[in-house]
Amino acid sequence: MPLCAIAYVSRARTDLSPTDLDGLLADATTFNRMAGITSVLMFDGERFLQYLEGPADGLASVHARIVNATRHSDIRELASGPIAARRFPCWTMATRQVERAVLAGLADASWHGFDSGTAVAGNGFGMLLCSWTDGRGELQPAAVSLGS
């Protein structure tokens, strides 16, 4: 089955507590694993930015849960489409707390799909990849939790 990806940004519920966030991450990790999805999630205290990848049917299931979730609103798709290979193959739900300016830069960047050839300065997907890798292009260890 071909692989697909989606990236979106959304606004967290204003009363989202650290416990709520931990619950969201635990639920999403479990569901992503069952659906065959790998993912990275960034949070700046107000907004989420998430990139998900996997088989089209699994991605559709996860996307439906995201759209119907009550812990966030104002979902804006940044890009979606087919991908040649996973970029985050070991991370069912990697998470990272980021500064507002970092997330704003990613959310406001130009997103033109997920082709590795587009991983250049000013491109949202390229910026996302750079934020999760070190200077040699190796994935950095994922954060353990955002809420705790």
- Domains along the sequence of the chain with CATH: 3-99 (3.30.70.100)
Contact (CB, 8 A) for 57 and 6: no
User: 46-56: per-residue pLDDT in tens?
Assistant: 999 999 999 99
Strand-pairing partners, residue 40, are 51, 94
pTM of the model: 0.89
pLDDT at 63 over 90: yes
Q: Rounded distance, CA 143 to CA 59, Å? A: 23
Tell me the mean pLDDT in the region 15-37. 90
Tell me the mean pLDDT in the region 20-47. 92
Predicted confidence at residue 96, as pLDDT, reads 87
Strand-pairing partners, residue 27, are none
Res. 132 pLDDT band, cuts 50 70 90: confident
Kindly report the three-state secondary structure assignment for every residue of the chain: CCEEEEEEEEEECCCCCHHHHHHHHHHHHHHHHHHCCEEEEEECCCEEEEEEEEEHHHHHHHHHHHHHCCCEEEEEEEEEEEECCCCCCCCCCEEEECCHHHHHHHHHCECCCCCHHHCCCCEHHHHHHHHCECCCCCECCCECCCCC
What is the widest separation between alpha-carbon atoms in the chain?
A: 40
Q: Which two tokens stand for residue 4?
A: 């697909």
Res. 144 pLDDT band, cuts 50 70 90: very low
pLDDT at 143 over 50: no
Predicted confidence at residue 147, as pLDDT, reads 41
Predicted confidence at residue 32, as pLDDT, reads 93
Predicted confidence at residue 135, as pLDDT, reads 57
Strand-pairing partners, residue 51, are 7, 40
